[in-house]
Amino acid sequence: MLAVEQEEGGDGSESALSFLVRATIPEGTNTNAVELSGLSFGAGTVGFSVYRGTTPVQLLRIASGQAVANTFTDTGLASGLVPPPDANYDHANFYWRMELQPEVAATVHTATTAGNETLSMATNAFRGATVRIHKGKGQGQERTIAANDGTTLAISGHWDIEPDATSLFVVADPSWRFGAMGRTAPVEFDVPNRPGATVHVSGRAANVNDKECSYAVSPLTRWTIGGAGGNLDAGVPGMPIWFRAPC
DSSP 84: P
**Residue of 159 and 82 predicted with greater confidence:** 159
**Mean pLDDT taken over the chain:** 88
Q: How confident is the model at residue 87 (pLDDT cuts 50, 70, 90)?
A: confident
pLDDT the model gives residue 55:
86
> Phi/psi at 215 (nearest 5 deg)?
-60, -35
pLDDT the model gives residue 30:
81
Strand ranges (E), 111-214: 113-115, 130-135, 142-148, 152-155, 168-172, 177-182, 198-206
**Residue of 166 and 42 predicted with greater confidence:** 166
| Distances in whole angstroms, Cα of residue 221 to Cα of each of 17, 133, 191 | 25, 13, 14
Number of Cβ within 10 Å of residue 51's Cβ equals 24
Q: Render pLDDT for 19-51 as a digit per residue (tens, 0 to 9).
A: 889 998 888 888 899 999 999 888 888 899 999
pLDDT the model gives residue 43:
81
pLDDT the model gives residue 10:
60
pLDDT the model gives residue 124:
98
Q: Render pLDDT for 115-150 as a digit per residue (tens, 0 to 9).
A: 999 999 999 999 999 999 999 999 999 999 999 999
pLDDT the model gives residue 236:
65
Whether the predicted pLDDT of 240 surpasses 80? no
Sign of the dihedral defined by the CA atoms of residues 35, 40, 42, 47, in that order = positive
Q: Go through the chain and tell me how many residues it has.
A: 247
pLDDT the model gives residue 1:
77
pLDDT the model gives residue 58:
84
Q: d(Cα 244, Cα 247) in Å, to the nearest integer?
A: 9
| Alpha carbon of residue 60 to chain centroid | 11
Q: Render pLDDT for 3-19 as a digit per residue (tens, 0 to 9).
A: 777 766 666 677 888 88
Contacts by residues 60-68 (CB-CB < 8 Å, ≥ 24 positions apart): 60/219, 65/7, 68/41
Q: Where are the domains of the chain?
A: 2-74, 88-228
pLDDT the model gives residue 104:
97
> Phi/psi at 216 (nearest 5 deg)?
-60, -25
For the segment 50-66, the average pLDDT, to the nearest whole number, is 89
Q: Are 81 and 94 in contact (CB under 8 A)?
A: no
pLDDT the model gives residue 84:
85
Q: Are 164 and 105 in contact (CB under 8 A)?
A: no
